[in-house]
Structure 1
Amino acid sequence: MRLKLILALSLFVCMTFSLAKDQSHHLARGRRRGVGPKRARKQTTITTLQQGRLPESNGQDGSIFIESYRNTKEPKPDYETTAGKSEHCVFRGITMYDKAVWSPKPCVNCLCSSGEVVCDQILCPALRCQLKFQRIGECCPICIDPVVDAPEYSGDSPVPNDLAEPYTRISESQKDRQKKDEQERIRKKDADRKQRKKQKKEEAERQRKLKEAKDAREKEEEQRRLREEEEERAAAEERKRRMEEQRKAEEDRARRLEMEQKEMMRALEEAAERAQEGLRGDEATEDAVWLRGDVFQMPPTRAAGPPLLALQEPTEPGGEDTEPGEEEPEVVEEESEMVTTLLPQGCSISDVTITCENAKLTGIPPLSIPELKSLSLQGNEITSIPAGAFNGIPNLEWIDLGKNKIVSSGIDPQAFKGLKFLSRLYMDGNLLEQIPSELPSTLQELKINENNLKEIEENSFEGLSSLVTLEMEGNLLSEGHVNSQAFKPLKELTYLRLSRNHFRTIPQGLPPSLLELYLENNLIEDISETAFNHTANINVIVLRHNKLDETSIAPLAWINHRNLESIDLSHNNFYLVPSFLPKSLVHLVLIGNQIERIPGYVFAHMEPGLEYLYLSYNKLDGDAVEPESFLGTFNTMTELCLDHNQLTSIPMGINEMTTLHFLRLNNNKIRHVSEDAICDPLNNDDSHLVALRLENNFLDPRKIPPTAFSCVRSYSSVVLKPQRIK
């Protein structure tokens, strides 16, 4: 047994020595032909493949290795070898032609041979030199000093010669082209990866912007809904209050009418008794004292007594006929003078006032009551006012013709001429297209709201030098159809309402006496420097619900006005609190705009200073208030409303307002109230805040410092609940 083992080892040593010798021989021959170490190594691999021996699989990953390398001491490589079914090879998803050579890893070469992939690890020769250098992209180092002896491979496997020829046919250009193709594929792959990464980033950015826009829209819709709900609640409360007031007024009027009717009945009974006593000695004549519906008749008293109001049908020839449906007055002829009084159906009389509201009258009723002072014909179907319509009531001081169907062509020029004491004329809700002409010079109040006025001519107000109040809301007026000289005769006009028209600019020619101007719900988008040049005494300007912004107001439009104390710019397009406000301003309303910032020193020039500032329902946030924003208001501010904004903290400067009584900060995003944010701990004056509202924020009442509200007169006036978080 030992003898057999010794023979086997001897045979193995001989074979190993023979293979090493052959390999050295072939490497030497390759160097003589001018082939470098690298080419010699490749030829060694190919020669080994072209031997008669077939490559064998390692049985694990399908790779094929040359049999002669089995005896080497190098570790087995972990690369893959794929066997194909045709002349082409598929390596890692890439199709290789037959005889193609490539290097999937450093120092590893692969060959496509008859549909099979054969890979081999390059063995570097042993170098006998002092200085070695390894080129970039190559596996083995080279000598840079003279070589003493020919290099030898470090392996023991012999290299056959009969497979070297196919390998030499692979040109260097093919290898370069394959290398370039591989580099190009890698570059394209990197470019595609970068492009996909860029697209993903852009898509993420676009999704983020869409989400932000959607959140902003939802937030704005929520704010608008809350604002509308609050406005609706306020409107409902206002309607309820007005209905209650109207009900109480109706009850009071009904009680007054009842008392007046009782008083009148008592007076009539007393007058009838006196008349009977005075006629007892006369011929027997039955005197009737009776009431029937709204018509009553009685004999006059001979004794001196209070004058009786009379409503009488005209009896002169050519007089107006009796209204249809009205009863003929009964006339009782007596030796003494008889007075006949008639009231139309649906009318009532009280002292010196006759009310015929919603009585379905189609014309001015013929009245003959010299003592009458007020006449209300509201809510009828009157279409015209003829000449002499008020001849029987020449002392009228107030006429209400609202909510009828009066047209301009139906008013006779002489209709109001005989009214020497008329001071108030209401013609709201009719169909007028022009200002009635020949109005009495004593007129002090004229209302023509909700009509079809399209033009105001130069002589429309001729002779109305005593007019104090003029209202023309809800018409079709614009600056191009209002003559600049139209208001010149109005020497005493102090109150002018032109709301709900079509004005784009402030109408020209406003009278110097004007104190209050109302232009809400128009289309005003510009205020020029000369808009208020002739109204130096104006005190109130209302411009809410227009199209103004901070750039549409000229710097000198009103800054030098010394009497302008109140401006309402609510529901416009302001993004900043406007600059160049009047020096005398006391009351500023900017509710319902898009205001994002209160610039510094915007109120600093005012004398004595702003007292009321309303900035509710805007877009003020944490950066909206600067340290100098409220400069000039510290000693005058009385009421400050900053509710329904996006404030994240208490604005700077509030703790310095020593006269502040009312502060609204509810419906914001405030999360913290510091000790000195609202009340100055160094101020020893008496408490001045009367009401403080902080509900609907993000506050935790337990984390509010105990001295934060020390300047509030009563803690019960601090509203903290509810909050948006618990």
Structure 2
Amino acid sequence: MKFASLFLFFLLIILQTDFGQNDENPGKQRKKCNRRLKKISSPMHRSSRQLRIQQIMMVTPAAKLPMDNLDYSAEKFESFLSFLGVESRYNVLPGKKGHCLVNGMTMYNKAVWSPELCTTCLCSNGRVLCDKTMCHPQRCPKTITPEGECCPVCSDTEQRETTNLLHTQRPPPRVEMDQALRKEELQFEESNEEIKENEDRKKKIPGTGDGEKLTTERQSREGAEQRLAEEGRQTHHHGSTARQEEEENEEEDYKDEYETIRDIFRIPPRLPVPAPPRSMPPLPSGCSLSYRTISCNSVNLTQIPPLTAPEVTSLELPGNSIISIPDEAFNGLPNLERLDLSKNNITSSGIGPNALKLLKKLMYLNMDGNNLAEIPSELPSTLEELKINENNLRAIDEETLSDLNQLVTLELEGNNLSETNVNPLAFKPLKSLSYLRLGRNKFRIIPQGLPTSLEELYLENNQIEEITEICFNHTRNINVIVLCYNKIEENRIAPLAWINQENLESIDLSYNKLYQVPSYLPKSLLHLVLLGNKIERIPGYVFGHMQPGLEYLYLSFNKLSDDGVDRVSFYGVYHSLRELFLDYNDLKSIPPGVQEMKALHFLRLNNNKIRNILPEQICSTEEDDDSTLEYLHLENNYIKTGEISPYAFSCIRSYSSIILKPQNIN
């Protein structure tokens, strides 16, 4: 017995030991797996992966993503797609942050416009969002789409039938109810008469005894029946009266409800008699009317046609041969809000003194491409946008724009304006002006007296040579300045010209006479465009004073060399710069400091003289996971792709965005 007990005890100990060993096996397996993973991710194993990347890039400049070690879940796949975005093409500048550039025009943030019929677009923080007009389905079998409208409507026949149906619905007539009650009473009387006739026939049947007794009983029964009939008639009469009163009350309630509905929806009790149409002269040949807009585009008009249409709010007459605007030209269009007279032959002497003054609701006036020598006088004070580009304007005096205190946009490009014929107080009355275009004129300095409300100033293609300290003293809200294609040198920009501006975010100084990046740039600057100058040097710490820091720097088509760029040249932009364009210069190596730019998305170094790419000139192997670089252009250099280090591009997310070919032949 003791021997058996000891045997069982030892057996239990052995079994416990086996189970314990089995429980420890999963942990050991996990440790082995982890060690294997660490081994795979070690530098020795990574080198083979980098060599494969190098081979892929050498084959084609737009190689596909490698298919090994990828998680094919939906979320990861979407993230890979996000790497294949649209590359920057210099068109992000200049422009106010949040505005949209549409067909060469700047649309303000939250602006809404219709580029074509049935399409509405919105500028939302720099993005253009467009939607097609959604139409409600029509229940009528036959629909038509009126000219100039987006959605179908019921045809005139269907509308008339629906209207007739509404007006023919009336409360039930009183006569029909009276006839129904009268019919019930007649049926009841006929049934009583039949009963009486049957009783009379029974009285005349022979062989019946006790004639008198029967007669008495019959008389008493007949009397009872007559009393019952009388009571029934009275009850029926009272019931009919009650029912009649109830019907009358319902009828009155129905009438009240009908009157209320008719008042709410303004439904007349009868069809209105249509008013005779107004006598309007027919539109000239080639013109059209569409939703309050008369369009006569390029139809060879020599004068403004006589029109009488108070409901019209927009008149388009571009591309004709109109030479004058008489005083009575728009008498029949008192509600005009938009007027387009561009590309005609209108002269200043041909505009009557009261031709435009009487348009009390006019907000938009376009007179581009005419022969005006001066801005028309007596413009309506309601104007918000005025365009007189490509004319022969030679002067703007103090009183020309005096009444336009609601004007937001003024475009006077392509004229003969200069500081000698524009009065310094000419723009002072424009209290609401925020967008001013004076490009392609003859200014040698920044115009004086700019309004305090100004946000965007365009002065490209002039002859400006310097920027003085007083140019922008009163424009504290200015956000965009475009000065490309002028004659500005960096030593002709005053130190206090714009350094203290708090809202100035974009400056375009392309195609001037700059030999180095200008100092004393605005503290708030985000976008700097310096294309096509003769820049040989980026001074040290030139961007160091900017807050929050420069985001876009375009230095393409200059003369930068390795001697003109050092590590402190980009001091101040390491944590802010998103795009750096250095293509078409004389660089022989990757500029120092690129690998320290933690926010850089796009780097262009094509069309230089670069021969070698060292391992850590673009990517830092210790911080590959934190890199934001997505696009790299290195084509048209002297790089031997077979000698590129396997770690040179390890930080770039998408291999297909690395452009290495073609390269120049030695």
TM-score by length of 1: 0.56
How far is the alpha carbon of 1:528 from its aligned partner? Answer: 0.8
How far is the alpha carbon of 1:261 from its aligned partner? Answer: 3.8
Q: After TM superposition, list the pairs within 5 Å mapping 1:285-304 onto structure 2.
A: none
Q: Of 525, 530, 541, which residue of structure 2 is paired with 1:601? A: 541
Match of 2:94 in 1: none
CA distance in 1, matches of 2:273, 2:626: 65
Contact 1:569 1:591 in 2 (8 A): yes
**Is 2:302 the counterpart of 1:366?**
no
Identity %: 59
CA distance in 1, matches of 2:568, 2:274: 72
Match of 2:633 in 1: 693
Match of 1:260 in 2: 146
Partner secondary structure for residue 479 of structure 1: coil
Contact 1:260 1:350 in 2 (8 A): no
Match of 1:540 in 2: 480
Match of 2:606 in 1: 666
User: 1:88-127 CA deviation, whole Å, 9 max, x = no partner?
Assistant: xxxxxxxxxxxxxxxxxxxxxxxxxxxxxxxxxxxxxxxx
User: 1:54-75 CA deviation, whole Å, 9 max, x = no partner?
Assistant: xxxxxxxxxxxxxxxxxxxxxx
CA distance in 1, matches of 2:349, 2:321: 16
CA distance in 2, matches of 1:272, 1:627: 78
Distance 1:306-1:663 versus aligned 2 partners, 3 A rule? farther
How far is the alpha carbon of 1:536 from its aligned partner? Answer: 1.4
Q: How many residues align?
A: 429
How far is the alpha carbon of 1:249 from its aligned partner? Answer: 7.3
Match of 1:619 in 2: 559
Q: Of 146, 152, 156, which residue of structure 2 is paired with 1:270? A: 156
Q: Of 294, 297, 307, which residue of structure 2 is paired with 1:357? A: 297
How far is the alpha carbon of 1:714 from its aligned partner? Answer: 0.7
CA distance in 2, matches of 1:343, 1:522: 43
CA distance in 1, matches of 2:439, 2:278: 52
Q: Of 412, 436, 448, which residue of structure 2 is paired with 1:472? A: 412
CA distance in 2, matches of 1:263, 1:632: 55
What letter corresponds to residue 408 of structure 1 in structure 2? S
Contact 1:693 1:720 in 2 (8 A): yes
CA distance in 2, matches of 1:483, 1:432: 18
CA distance in 2, matches of 1:445, 1:692: 42
Distance 1:249-1:559 versus aligned 2 partners, 3 A rule? closer
**Is 2:516 the counterpart of 1:576?**
yes
Match of 1:488 in 2: 428
Q: Of 492, 499, 509, which residue of structure 1 is paired with 2:449? A: 509
What letter corresponds to residue 663 of structure 1 in structure 2? L
Contact 2:280 2:308 in 1 (8 A): no
Q: Of 528, 531, 535, which residue of structure 2 is paired with 1:591? A: 531
Contact 1:524 1:546 in 2 (8 A): yes
CA distance in 2, matches of 1:530, 1:504: 15
What letter corresponds to residue 156 of structure 2 in structure 1? E
TM-score by length of 2: 0.61
**Is 2:329 the counterpart of 1:389?**
yes
Match of 1:656 in 2: 596
User: 1:212-269 CA deviation, whole Å, 9 max, x = no partner?
Assistant: xxxxxxxxxxxxxxxxxx99xxxxxxxxx99xxxxx978989x99x9534989x9998
Match of 1:159 in 2: none
Distance 1:366-1:338 versus aligned 2 partners, 3 A rule? closer
CA distance in 2, matches of 1:390, 1:267: 32
What letter corresponds to residue 587 of structure 1 in structure 2? H
How far is the alpha carbon of 1:658 from its aligned partner? Answer: 0.2
CA distance in 2, matches of 1:707, 1:689: 14
Match of 1:461 in 2: 401
Partner secondary structure for residue 289 of structure 2: strand
Q: CA RMSD in A?
A: 3.1
How far is the alpha carbon of 1:418 from its aligned partner? Answer: 2.0
How far is the alpha carbon of 1:725 from its aligned partner? Answer: 2.5
CA distance in 1, matches of 2:302, 2:281: 21
Task: Please list every run of 5 or more consecutive structure 1 residues that lacks an aligned counterpart in the other structure.
Answer: 1-229, 232-240, 243-247, 279-301, 308-335
How far is the alpha carbon of 1:421 from its aligned partner? Answer: 1.4
CA distance in 1, matches of 2:618, 2:155: 72
What letter corresponds to residue 616 of structure 2 in structure 1? D
CA distance in 2, matches of 1:306, 1:493: 47
Q: After TM superposition, list the pairs within 5 Å mapping 1:25-40 onto structure 2.
A: none
CA distance in 2, matches of 1:569, 1:263: 46
Distance 1:570-1:306 versus aligned 2 partners, 3 A rule? farther
Contact 1:699 1:725 in 2 (8 A): no
User: 1:396-450 CA deviation, whole Å, 9 max, x = no partner?
Assistant: 1110000001111111121112212111000000011111111111100000000
CA distance in 2, matches of 1:581, 1:423: 37
Q: Of 447, 454, 476, which residue of structure 1 is paired with 2:387? A: 447
| Larger RCO: 1 or 2 (CA < 8 Å, sep 6+) | 2
Distance 1:725-1:616 versus aligned 2 partners, 3 A rule? same
CA distance in 1, matches of 2:351, 2:147: 35
Distance 1:395-1:263 versus aligned 2 partners, 3 A rule? closer
Distance 1:609-1:337 versus aligned 2 partners, 3 A rule? closer
Q: After TM superposition, list the pairs within 5 Å mapping 1:246-257 onto structure 2.
A: none
CA distance in 2, matches of 1:431, 1:723: 52
Q: Of 654, 665, 679, which residue of structure 1 is paired with 2:619? A: 679
How far is the alpha carbon of 1:348 from its aligned partner? Answer: 1.0
CA distance in 2, matches of 1:574, 1:564: 20
Task: Please list every run of 5 or more consecutive structure 2 residues that lacks an aligned counterpart in the other structure.
Answer: 1-88, 91-102, 105-113, 120-131, 134-143, 165-269
